């Protein structure tokens, strides 16, 4: 549960610029002109290796902002670094070629005060040209989704980066951006809807998006169909990630099916344009095998646990987006009641999933885990057998845990083979230990202790909402 904003909150504006020499001064001025006390404004501008005169344009403002310059890393890496540099109670992004609306900070802070449970808020955008003249007063074309929006995000992004703002307490959820993330705003919306409700600031727009030759996004499909198709292909890995990362209680099997249907429509466009699907999806033999096994699990769960069956099928489609059996399995449960299953009892804030047989076959996994997670940590290792009954589980795993951990045993929940428990663990825990035979996009897996510990610390500070 988020705490209310402090009486005098600090606002951090984090701005990214790259070859914006003609616009960056306007962007900076739009921040400095905000009606907000300068002693409670943190303004960080990151230059991602501009090769034009951007540094010269920024220099007159050097005493009023923090200017960081680096070699070009690309937008996702640059934004990740930017977020790591700010520490305000409210975080607001800005692109070096755009502008904040005149009252952006005040309206944002007021919204978070009035809605203390909301973790991220977004608003409408005004579109301007190279000279700052209005081209479109609004880009809003439907009622903006709010609350738990994971189901909508599965089908595509509707939150523009410059129009969002985040409670600083949730910064840990924004970090750890996966390599598959197509666009940083889509990732932020996905990560944050899993920890707190998302809100919307009503008109007028909160952001001034500048349309110019380098970023002319609107109407791209009409102007350059090939480039538009390229952008869709870039999204494919992230769409697979989302299908494998989706959780019961945040979206429904019907929403999963709608997202898959949207994916299939995009895939048809790619296929009809003559793009080789094998190269685009690059499905490995291991992923095909995992998709087959997950589809079989989905079929077995259709009657007794239809929601879990849907999520098992979605994970199969994350592995192999063209898997016909997985699509049929998901379609079979999409219209059934979607009450999410109950999460495991007596687990701590952060849960890690492991397969019992894999831990026994490779004790180094358990040794690595016990090296970074102890009994006092707010973490539970949920290990479920794929084939062993209770007696075999106790005989194989019990002595191994005692040998490796001794009296300092981390919190462990061990369960015998059961398809419902196995899929529940896969889809409802925070990450996996090992699970090497299941290369499912979106399932965050660790074999190395330091990386696992870092992930656990982030998740502990911004825990997932449980169904």
Closest of 82, 105, 86 to residue 169, by C-alpha? 86
User: How high is the pLDDT of residue 467?
Assistant: 59
CB 28 within 8 A of CB 99: no
| Rounded Cα gap, residues 284 and 251, in angstroms | 28
Q: Point out the least confidently predicted range of 2-16, 154-168, 453-467.
A: 453-467
User: Do 406 and 362 sit in the same domain of this protein?
Assistant: yes
User: How confident is the model at residue 37, as a pLDDT?
Assistant: 97
Interacting residues of 197 by C-beta distance below 8 A, sequence separation 6+: 117, 118, 119, 146, 147, 148
281 with 362, same domain: the answer is: no
- Of 383 and 275, the one with more pLDDT: 383
Predicted confidence band of residue 231 (pLDDT cuts 50, 70, 90): confident
Residue 4 lies in a domain: no
pLDDT band at residue 413 under the 50/70/90 scheme: very high
Q: What is the pTM of this model?
A: 0.94
Regarding whether 444 and 300 lie in a shared domain, the answer is no
Instruction: Check which CATH number belongs to the domain holding 76 and give it.
Output: 3.90.550.10
pLDDT in tens, 72-85: 999 999 999 999 99
Q: H or E stretch including 379?
A: strand 379-384
What is the arithmetic mean of pLDDT over 206-224? 70
Whole-number pLDDT of residue 464? 84
Q: What is the mean pLDDT of residues 403-421?
A: 95
Q: Are residues 186 and 288 in the same domain?
A: no
The pLDDT, as a whole number, for residue 224 is: 63
Q: Where are the alpha helices (DSSP H) in 96-245?
A: 104-114, 150-155, 171-174, 184-193, 220-223, 225-245
At residue 446, the pLDDT reads 97
For the ranges 15-29, 93-107, 182-196, 221-235, which has the lowest average pLDDT? Answer: 221-235
Residue 466 domain-assigned (yes or no): no
What is the maximum span of the chain, computed from C-alpha positions, in angstroms?
74
**Mean pLDDT computed over 313-335:** 97
The conformation of residue 23, written as its DSSP 8-state character, comes to: T
Among the listed ranges 56-70, 83-97, 273-287, which one has the minimum average pLDDT value?
273-287
Cα separation, 134 vs 56, whole angstroms:
27
Q: Which of 181, 210, 239 is the last residue of a domain?
A: 210
Region 450-454: what's the mean pLDDT? 97
Residues 196 and 226 grouped into a single domain = no
pLDDT at residue 320, as a whole number: 96
Q: Identify the pLDDT of residue 250.
A: 93
Residues in CB range of 99: below 8 A, 6 or more apart = 26, 27, 29, 30, 128, 132, 207, 208, 210
Whether 344 maps to a domain, the answer reads no
Q: How many C-alpha atoms does 129 have within 13 Å on its Cβ side?
A: 4
164 and 73 assigned to the same domain: yes
Q: Within a domain: residue 255?
A: yes
Which helix or strand (DSSP H or E) is residue 165 part of? strand 164-167
DSSP 216: -
Rounded to an integer, the average pLDDT of 209-228 is 66
pLDDT score at 226: 73
pLDDT-derived band at 345 (thresholds 50, 70, 90) equals confident
Q: What is the mean pLDDT of the chain?
A: 94
Query: Domain end: 210, 235, 252, which one?
Result: 210
Question: What is the predicted pLDDT for the residue at 215?
Answer: 60
CATH code where residue 401 lies: 3.40.30
Describe the strand order of the beta sheet including 11-17 as a list of residue ranges: 66-70, 41-48, 11-17, 90-95, 164-167, 120-123, 198-201
Task: Tell me: do 204 and 226 sit in the same domain.
Answer: no
Domain final residue pick, 210, 245, 271:
210
Strands of 238-349 (E only): list them: none
Instruction: Return the closest-CA partner of residue 147 out of 204, 92, 194.
Output: 194
Q: Are residues 418 and 313 in the same domain?
A: no
Q: Does one domain contain both 307 and 398?
A: no
Q: What percent of the chain has pLDDT over 70?
A: 97
Q: Please give the residue range of the domain that contains residue 379.
A: 350-461
Of 162-166, 207-211, 328-332, 342-346, the poorest mean pLDDT is in 342-346
pLDDT tens string 427-443: 999 999 999 999 999 99
Same domain, 40 and 126: yes
Question: Residue 341 domain-assigned?
Answer: no
pLDDT tens, 87-134? Answer: 999 999 999 999 999 999 999 999 999 999 999 999 999 999 999 999
**Least confident span in 118-132, 341-355, 385-399:** 341-355
Classify residue 345: in a domain, yes or no: no
Decide if 6 is inside a domain. no
Q: How confident is the model at residue 305 (pLDDT cuts 50, 70, 90)?
A: very high
Cα four-point dihedral sign 325, 253, 428, 193: positive
Find where tokens 């990450």 sit.
Answer: 431
Q: Which of 146-160, 217-231, 328-342, 420-434 has the lowest mean pLDDT?
A: 217-231
pLDDT of res. 214: 63
Question: Do residues 306 and 443 both lie within one domain?
Answer: no
- Is the pLDDT confidence value at 218 over 60? no
Same domain? For 21 and 89 the reply is yes
Q: Calculate mean pLDDT across residues 290-306.
A: 96
In a domain, 299, yes or no: yes
Q: Number of folded domains in the chain?
A: 3
């Amino acid at each position: 549960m988020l705490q209310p904003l402090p009486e005098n909150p600090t606002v951090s504006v984090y701005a990214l610029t790259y070859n914006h020499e003609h616009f960056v001064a306007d962007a900076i001025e739009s921040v400095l002109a905000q009606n907000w006390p300068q002693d409670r404004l943190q303004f960080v501008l990151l230059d991602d290796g501009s090769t034009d005169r951007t540094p010269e344009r920024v220099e007159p403002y050097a005493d009023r902002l923090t200017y960081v310059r680096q070699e070009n890393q690309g937008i996702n890496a640059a934004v990740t670094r930017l977020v790591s540099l700010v520490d305000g109670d409210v975080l607001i992004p800005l692109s070096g070629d755009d502008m904040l609306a005149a009252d952006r900070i005040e309206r944002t802070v007021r919204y978070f005060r009035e809605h203390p449970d909301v973790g991220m808020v977004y608003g409408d955008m005004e579109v301007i040209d190279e000279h700052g003249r209005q081209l479109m007063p609004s880009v809003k074309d439907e009622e903006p989704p709010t609350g738990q929006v994971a189901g909508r995000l599965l089908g595509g992004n509707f939150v523009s980066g410059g129009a969002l703002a985040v409670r600083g307490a949730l910064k840990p959820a924004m970090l750890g951006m996966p390599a598959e993330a197509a666009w940083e705003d889509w990732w932020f919306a996905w990560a944050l809807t899993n920890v707190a409700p998302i809100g919307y600031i009503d008109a007028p727009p909160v952001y001034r998006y500048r349309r110019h030759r380098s970023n002319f996004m609107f109407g791209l499909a009409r102007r350059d169909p090939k480039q538009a198709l390229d952008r869709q292909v870039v999204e494919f890995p992230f769409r697979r990630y989302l299908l494998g990362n989706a959780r019961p209680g945040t979206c429904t099997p019907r929403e999963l099916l709608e997202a898959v249907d949207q994916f299939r429509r995009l895939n048809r466009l790619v296929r009809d344009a003559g793009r080789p699907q094998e190269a685009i999806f690059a499905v490995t033999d291991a992923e095909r095998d995992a998709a087959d096994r997950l589809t079989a699990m989905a079929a077995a769960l259709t009657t007794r646990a239809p929601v879990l069956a849907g999520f098992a099928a979605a994970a199969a489609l994350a592995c192999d987006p063209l898997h016909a059996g997985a699509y049929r399995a998901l379609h079979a449960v999409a219209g059934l009641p979607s009450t999410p299953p109950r999460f495991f009892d007596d687990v701590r804030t952060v849960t890690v999933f492991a397969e019992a047989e894999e831990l026994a076959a490779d004790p180094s996994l358990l040794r690595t885990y016990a090296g970074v997670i102890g009994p006092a940590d707010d973490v539970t290792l949920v290990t479920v057998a794929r084939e062993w009954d209770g007696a075999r589980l106790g005989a194989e795993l019990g002595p191994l845990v005692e040998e490796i951990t001794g009296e300092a045993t981390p919190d462990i929940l061990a369960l015998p083979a059961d398809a419902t428990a196995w899929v529940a663990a896969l889809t409802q825990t925070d990450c996996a230990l090992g699970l090497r035979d299941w290369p499912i996009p979106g399932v965050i897996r660790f074999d190395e202790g330091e990386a696992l510990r870092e992930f656990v610390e982030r998740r502990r500070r911004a825990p997932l909402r449980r169904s």
